[in-house]
Amino acid sequence: MIKSMLTKVINLEPRYLGLISVDMDLDAERIIIMDRISGSILNNTLRPQSGISKTIVSKNYTTLNNIIVGIVDDNMTYNCKFIDGIQAELVDANTVDISQ
């Protein structure tokens, strides 16, 4: 009996999104990412063990610098640090590595 193998080639169309990658301070316990115009929170999460936080955002944020990124510590020992005017990196969702 002859078995034939069918090979299916999948051609994925690029799906572009924005990526915000932050190498967090060791004393920081939380990262906050906000839309500068609306004030809405895009991400509020604890510091990953690796110290590098990666957040996927809308493609709209790759052409505008409307993001505020901040790091804070939960026990209020250190001052928070925020930076304004961040623009997300344009990435293809099919190939981007968001492991933390």
Q: Where are the domains of the chain?
A: 17-92
Which are the contacts of 18, defined by CB distance < 8 A and separation ≥ 6? Answer: 56, 57, 58, 59, 60, 61, 62, 88, 89, 90, 91
> For the whole model, what pTM was predicted?
0.80
H, E, C per residue of the chain: CCCCCCCCCCCCCCCEEEEEEEECCCCCCEEEEEECCCCCEEEEEECCCCCEEEEEECHHHHCCCCEEEEEECCCCCCCCEEEEEECCEEEECCCCCCCC
Give the pLDDT confidence of 28-68 residue by residue, as tens digits: 999 999 999 999 999 999 999 999 999 999 999 999 999 99
- 6's tokens: 């069918």
Give the pLDDT confidence of 3-14 residue by residue, as tens digits: 666 666 666 788
Residue 91: beta bridge partners? 17
